[in-house]
Amino acid sequence: MSAPNAKAQAMVLAAGLGKRMRPITDTMPKPLISVAGKPMLDHVLDKLANAGVRQAVVNSHYLGQQIIDHVATRTAPAIVTSPEEDLLETGGGVKNALSKLDDDAVLIANADVFWTEGAEPLFDRLFNAFDPDHMDALLALYPVADGYGYDGAGDFFWQVDGRLKRRVDAPSAPYFFTGVQVLAPHLFEDTPDGAWSLNVVYDKALAAGRCYGLVHDGGYFHIGTPEALKESEPVIAQALEVERAKKEASGGV
């Protein structure tokens, strides 16, 4: 699929191996696993379309042709594919696609995450909150205590001014990273070639005091295993019903 003339405003990371989702991912990439009636990748892409994003880059590696075939007919957003012969991880994957992405700020989301919206859609909140004069990174966070299926110790402390501080040696932190973010592309200057994690650019932004957080106010579901998928389905269905009711009450479509 050839790139449109304008650069993409968003990127969806869909190249991972999905090992914890085996045996489902023996024959299907994790982003194409159905949750609440459609693939997780489509939930993310539909949210981008609702936020007004006209085109997005989707990378692929593991069973990548399935990803490429799946997005081939989408028009909202229009998809620019970024196949990876070798798995480049999150940082390398974004760097590999930089020539196809907006030069000022890029909205990036993992393809295998699922959330329901709060008072305002998460992507809209991130776009509106990102301030390039003060920020190089704006990460969407979620409270550890409220994340369905999340059993980690948290990633960040969210400071009074909105800037983030890593958990480091603390036994726990109150917020975890959701996999959704806005990044300034210049963060990728002087970064490694090949495979590497986005943690490299987060650390760069943290060191400069330019890494901020935004706490998502809707629902968030961590779906890491086939068992978690099965257990979460009825809870997700209920959460989506609540989301629809709120949207109708506010006059939304």
Other C-beta atoms lying within 10 Å of the C-beta of residue 172: 9
Per-residue three-class SS string for the chain? CCCCCCCECEEEECCCCCHHHCCHHHCCCHHHCEECCEEHHHHHHHHHHHCCCCEEEEEECCCHHHHHHHHCCCECCEEEEEECCCCCHHHHHHHHCHHHECCCCEEEEECCCEEECCCCCHHHHHHHHCCCCCCCEEEEEEEHHHCECCCCCCCEEECCCCEEEECCCCCCCCEEEEEEEEECHHHHCCCCCCCCCCHHHHHHHHHCCCEEEEECCCEEECCCCHHHHHHHHHHHHHHHHHHHHHHHHCCCC
pLDDT attached to residue 238: 83
- From 220, 219, 209, 56, select the one nearest 137 (Cα to Cα): 209
- 96 band by pLDDT with thresholds 50, 70 and 90: very high
Q: Which residues contact 32 (CB under 8 A, 6 or more apart)?
A: 39, 40, 41, 66, 67, 70
Average confidence (pLDDT) over 85-109: 96
The span from the CA of 140 to the CA of 180, in Å, is 6
Q: Is the peptide bond between 171 and the residue preceding it cis, with omega within 30 degrees of 0? A: no
Q: Is the pLDDT of residue 1 over 60?
A: no
Q: Could you tell me how far CA 209 lies from the centroid of its own chain? A: 22
Average confidence (pLDDT) over 136-145: 97
Q: Is the pLDDT of residue 253 over 80?
A: no
Mean pLDDT for the chain? Answer: 92
pLDDT tens by residue, 141-150: 999 999 998 9
Q: Is the pLDDT of residue 172 over 60?
A: yes
- 40 band by pLDDT with thresholds 50, 70 and 90: very high
The span from the CA of 41 to the CA of 196, in Å, is 22
pLDDT attached to residue 5: 57
Q: What is the pTM of this model?
A: 0.92
Q: Which domains does the chain have, with CATH numbers?
A: 10-249 (3.90.550.10)
- Amino acid code (one letter) for 188: F
Q: Is the pLDDT of residue 205 over 50?
A: yes
Q: Is the pLDDT of residue 140 over 80?
A: yes
Q: Is the pLDDT of residue 4 over 70?
A: no
